[in-house]
Amino acid sequence: MATEAPQVRTTAGSVRGSYEHDTGVFRGIPFAQPPFGPRRFRVPQRPEPWGGVREATSFGPPPPQTMRPAPGAPPAAASPDPAPDCLTINVWSPDPAGRLPVMVWIYGGAYLVGSADQPVYDGANLAGEGVVVVTFNHRVGVDGFVSLVGAPDNRGLLDQVAALTWVQENIAAFGGDPSKVTVFGESAGAGSIAALLAMPSTEGLFRRAIMQSVPGTYFTPALGRDVATRIGAELGLSPTAADFSTRTPAQLSDATNALTAKMPGLVNSWGKVARTVTPLSPIVDGEVLPTSPWAALESGTASDVELISGWMHDEYRIFHVLDGTLANADDHEADFMLGLLGPAGDPAAAYRKAYPAKSPGELIEVVFSDWLFRMATLRLAQHHAAAGGRSFVYEVCLPAPAENGAYGACHGFDVPLTFGNFGDSRALGPDGPTAEVLEVSRRIRTAWTSFAKTGDPGWSPFRAADQNAQVFDATTAETDGIEATSQALWRGHDFTEVDLIGRIAVAGPDRSVRTSTGTVVDFRRETVRGLAGSVRRGERSARELVAHALDRIESLNPKLHAFVAYDGDRAMERARAIDDAVARGEDPGPLAGLPLGVKDLEDAAGYVTTRGSRLHEDDEPAATSSVLVTRLEAAGAVVIGKTNTPELGSSPDTSNLLFGPTYNPWSLDHSPGGSSGGSAAAVAAGMVMLATGSDGGGSIRIPSSCCGLSGMKPSLGRIPDGGKAAPGWLDLSSKGVLARTMADVAEALDVAVGPEPTDLRSLPRSEGSWAVPDEPGVPLRVAWSPTLGYAEVDRAVLEACERAVGLLEGLGAEVTVVDTVFDADPFREWITTTQACNYRSLGHVLGTPDAERLTPGLRSSVEAGGALSAGDFVKALDACHRLNLRLVELFETADLLLTPTCAGPPPRSGQPGEINGERVPDWVRFTYPFNMTRSPAATVCAGIDPAGLPVGIQLIGPQHADLAVIQAAAALEAAIGLDPVAPGWDSGPE
């Protein structure tokens, strides 16, 4: 028995270890400098040389830990604060004077935790089989795997390369053969090894590899960047190395934990990854990791490396036993998870057919095991073998003894089996290893060390023809067709890196994201020109904006009911095409990447246009988009989905029998107005930056006023309808766009106006740009009419509007008060026109069962329209002529007319309006006259009333003076100086 402490000379200096049962053991040898201070988030640097002999009898400190990621994982270190010399390496050598094969272990821990000092990683048992065993620390968590601007990606992998380089340079002095290095690892350690196989920097560093349960998650830079921005958002940081360096590892750990807790709600952005236990994975960055491991092995990269890869039969069961999924999941949850995680097609049906006896929880466990570990690992072996590499496959089927075998052959149980150390494994239970466990452990250790020595683990190389593998169970045997059922389900599926995506999913908490520039994405704080410009310049991606829109919708729509349909996959595909165009040097347009809501009265390709009506809920999806939507998309906007509307747009309150009511972001007890209320609520809550609307009696201006937005009803014909169908409300309704500011509205209108041959009413575009100039013009002469001559106005509304008019006067406008604009309220003539149009559209359902499916108010309107005569309709049109003559007279002495937008504040949901505390039905008496005159009319937020609800002021211009209205509205906005953002929605509604 050796007694003198072994001493070895490394490239940095001499170290002295100890003998433990005739094995030379060296612990805590630096292989790189401490990765803190000026070296934080940097490539690892070679260790500083030291003089004398360094004692190597204690493990180095662990790297900063993030969390205990999952049941059964190694516990995190007591303190995540940085410690010097955490990048250290440990060696067990049975013969320091020999030349033995070398096995280098890379620990797992979900890329969040891990350190080589864990008792389970003690290398003595393996070294007793005649190999040199090496373990080491590498950076994990934020320091190791978060993608930061100004720092290399995959720093944890770079640490591993540095450790393997140290092995090549030094292991001979410890009795190892640098030409016979085998890397082996489990879970994140195996995922790291798969990445190392794809990295050019690892060439010649190892000859063989053993990958135990490779997690099939490697991230695109976009997803990696999104993870970083979300972690940074928890601390108010931009995703840069400079910003993150201002926080301790403990603070970054807390932020990562906070994000991890939110992951289940991120399915629409992160897809399958959102349902795992970790937000981190290696980044396929094109530099450190040029391509995904599957693509690398398929192309023959590392075909000279001999490979063992395998998995546990019941990989994910322990997690689902401990969190209750296995016992408590229902069919709905199973269908969702099967659809989310499974391969293409109808995975829910396929899995149920393949496993008819399994419960919902068992189906979830199987699909999780297949996607995340088993099939992902198998595909690596298949690609490696097909490219000419020597590959071996195994499966461990021995159940862990804890809880009477309830965990099955679970994830992580192979670690104590590999090392033969059974001190604190949760999978073993209080009674420790059984005789079967000890025997399977012996077989695995023999196979692994034999492979390290000779390249032969004791069973046949993997063959594509029969998919053969070694099964480690109570009776170990080689079998063909390993996991044949799952293989059949996943046949043809290509594993690749996970991208930032859009997907309709369950609602979760609000997730504000930061872009690659580090700026918080908040559509309520951005401008159309600025945000789209950043996409056009490649500073931000369209996918980031779409992902944020989907996040907000998933978070807030259950409370607001603004969207009635949305499709994250379709939107993300469109966003990806925009990003690709930018990458090719193309300009996707002035609205590049901006998410767009489309009012459910007009067509958006791929969506059913329900019109808020049960009569249309089963219609086929629209094959093409409306003219307005088509033009906005051509300018780079991305349709996210359809927004709610009252049935056929027939009410100033957005509610219908098909989807129910939409609520106001300023107060969930109140209406957002109508009929473009879904669009207004979506913009006001920051779900989207732009949304379409239509206005036949105030349906853009009313909800804009109720939700604190700017809205514009252009002159009739500025934005054409077009297509085969005649316009719904004939010469009353104009289409437009809702946004937070008039400048944003104008940016969208600028790409939408212009003639359309199929619309008889469409106007030519004779003006130049509609965009608001840096200094919009102030009208010289303004007529202010607080009542139009017939309308009672709420005191709070009137006060806010009068303050706004005073501000305009302060800018130099000459203001004239006009008590009477119209001799009488033209409501009777307006409603006559709408009733006639409604009868034209729906008269055929009267007397049929379908009539009972209509909203009662709409049904009454259709019935009234059927009782009208042609003379009634023509007289209503004559009234439009007379109203316009009155405006012609007024505009001889005024450039613009100003009125309140609504006579009262937003009403309570489902209730009549209120004026001065009294309930009244006619709280929207200021808007419809200007539909009858076809005049351009806009609204901006004039103030907030004592109840905390926004008040709008309306600006009306002469025929076709749209640009004058836009510029005056923008100037008034600036003078008012409000920032009308609905409170309480930065982290989701209460």
Task: Identify the active-site residue in 129, 186, 298, 315.
Answer: 315
Task: Identify the active-site residue in 411, 548, 561, 670.
Answer: 411
Q: How many CA atoms lie within 13 A of 88 on its CB side?
A: 25
Q: What tokens does 145 get?
A: 């795997």
Question: How far, in Å, CA of 680 to CA of 663, rounded?
Answer: 10
Q: What tokens does 903 get?
A: 């006579």
Start-end of H helices in 727-794: 742-752
Residue type at position 232? G
Pairing relation of β-strands 18-20 and 23-30? antiparallel
For residue 451, give Cα distances in angstroms to 392, 459, 793.
Answer: 10, 10, 87
Question: How far, in Å, CA of 438 to CA of 425, rounded?
Answer: 14
- Is 526 one of the catalytic residues? no
Secondary structure of residue 712 in the 3-state scheme: strand
Question: How far, in Å, CA of 609 to CA of 946, rounded?
Answer: 38
- Is 411 one of the catalytic residues? yes
Three-point CA angle 316, 199, 369, nearest 5°: 10
Contacts 24+ apart (CB under 8 A), 619-624: none
> 759: alpha, beta or left, given left = phi > 0 and alpha = psi -120 to 50?
beta
Largest CA distance in the chain: 117
Question: How far, in Å, CA of 447 to CA of 456, rounded?
Answer: 8
Residue type at position 161? V
In the beta sheet, which residues pair with residue 698? none
In three state form, how does the secondary structure of 625-692 look? Answer: CCHHHHHHHHCCCEEEEEECCCHHHCCCCCEECCCEECCECCECCECCCCCCHHHHHHHHCCCCCEEE
Do residues 706 and 682 make contact, with C-beta atoms less than 8 angstroms apart? Answer: no
Do residues 718 and 962 make contact, with C-beta atoms less than 8 angstroms apart? Answer: yes
Question: How far, in Å, CA of 664 to CA of 644, rounded?
Answer: 12
Question: How far, in Å, CA of 194 to CA of 136, rounded?
Answer: 18
DSSP 374: I
Three-point CA angle 870, 874, 880, nearest 5°: 155
Pairing relation of β-strands 469-472 and 477-479? antiparallel
User: What DSSP string describes 113-147?
Assistant: ---TT-GGG--HHHHTTT-EEEEE----HHHHH--
- Is 315 one of the catalytic residues? yes
194: burial class by Cβ within 10 Å (0-12, 13-18, 19+)? buried
In the beta sheet, which residues pair with residue 479? 469
Q: What tokens does 862 get?
A: 């259709």
Question: How far, in Å, CA of 643 to CA of 647, rounded?
Answer: 12
Do residues 500 and 223 make contact, with C-beta atoms less than 8 angstroms apart? Answer: yes
Cα dihedral across residues 269, 272, 274, 279: positive or negative: negative
Task: Identify the active-site residue in 187, 626, 699, 705.
Answer: 187
For residue 797, give Cα distances in angstroms to 644, 801, 811, 863, 923.
Answer: 26, 6, 22, 35, 11
Residue type at position 13? G
Omega cis (within 30) before 238: no
Do residues 547 and 579 make contact, with C-beta atoms less than 8 angstroms apart? Answer: no
Q: Annotated active-site positions, please?
A: 187, 315, 411
